[in-house]
A and B are shown apart, each in its own frame.
Chain A
Amino acid sequence: MDVAILLDTGIYCLLGVTVLSLVRVVIGPEPEDRMIGLNLTASQVLAILVLSALRLDRAIFLDVALVYAILGFVGMLAIARSVGSREGSP
């Protein structure tokens, strides 16, 4: 079993799964449903970035993955604050 074939299998399967998780972002009835879809998409893109770093043997993709995780978390905080304060609740 080759390492490159294994990593390619993981990358392409996760790409297909990420497209499925974007469906919930489009059709979600509540704003929290869209946030769930965005959170799931961010975690799977993080996994794709780490697998691409090993497939292409570039260590710079790991830094990109770490910054992507941090920005996803801060963005989720900002979206939750924006959605919660729109209804007048504290």
Chain B
Amino acid sequence: MIWVVAVFLLLGVFFGITGNIGVLRFPDVFTRLHAAAKCSTTSVFSILLACMLLKGWDPMSWRILVIALFFLITSPVSAHIIGRSAWMRGLMPWGRKQRKW
């Protein structure tokens, strides 16, 4: 069981590093938002899954389940709010056509 916990924990750390590289390297608001939302959801959810597997049947495990459900609902909603705010302000997405302008 400890190896399963280690695999999920290292998967969470790997996805966190990948999301941060994407946020630092991508050229636009929307592409950065794509990297940040997807990788942060996957990273945090696999780390919380590793913590739940580590504790087993315990009161702490059910609290971690509540946190995971809340995060799974609110993270895409907040990413959508950021993208909608950027779109409403008139920022154009990055593309090939924009290089000619």
A-to-B contact residues, CB < 8 Å: 1, 3, 6-7, 9-10, 13-14, 17, 20-21, 23-24, 30, 32-33, 35-37, 39-40, 43-44, 46-47, 50-51, 53-54, 59, 62-63, 65-66, 69-70, 73, 76-77, 80, 83-84, 87, 89
Contact = CB atoms under 8 A, between A and B. Distances in A.
B95 interface: no
Contact of A50 (B48, B77, B81): B48
Contacts of A73: 74, 77-78
How would you classify the secondary structure of chain A's contact residues: helix, strand, loop or mixed? helix
Interface of B: 2-3, 5-6, 9, 12-13, 16-17, 19-20, 23-24, 29, 32-33, 36-37, 40-41, 43-44, 47-48, 51, 54-55, 59-60, 63-64, 66-67, 70-71, 74-75, 77-79, 81-82, 84-86, 88-89, 91
Nearest to A37: B23
B67 A35 contact: no
Contacts of B3: 1
Contacts of A17: 13, 16-17, 20
A46 B67 CA distance: 9
Contact of B81 (A30, A46, A76): A76
A76 B84 CA distance: 13
Contacts of B6: 1, 6
Contacts of B77: 73
A63 B86 CA distance: 33
A32 B19 contact: no
A21 B81 CA distance: 20
Given A32-B33, A89-B89, 12 more contacts: A6-B2, A6-B6, A14-B16, A21-B20, A23-B24, A32-B29, A33-B32, A39-B36, A43-B75, A50-B67, A66-B67, A73-B74
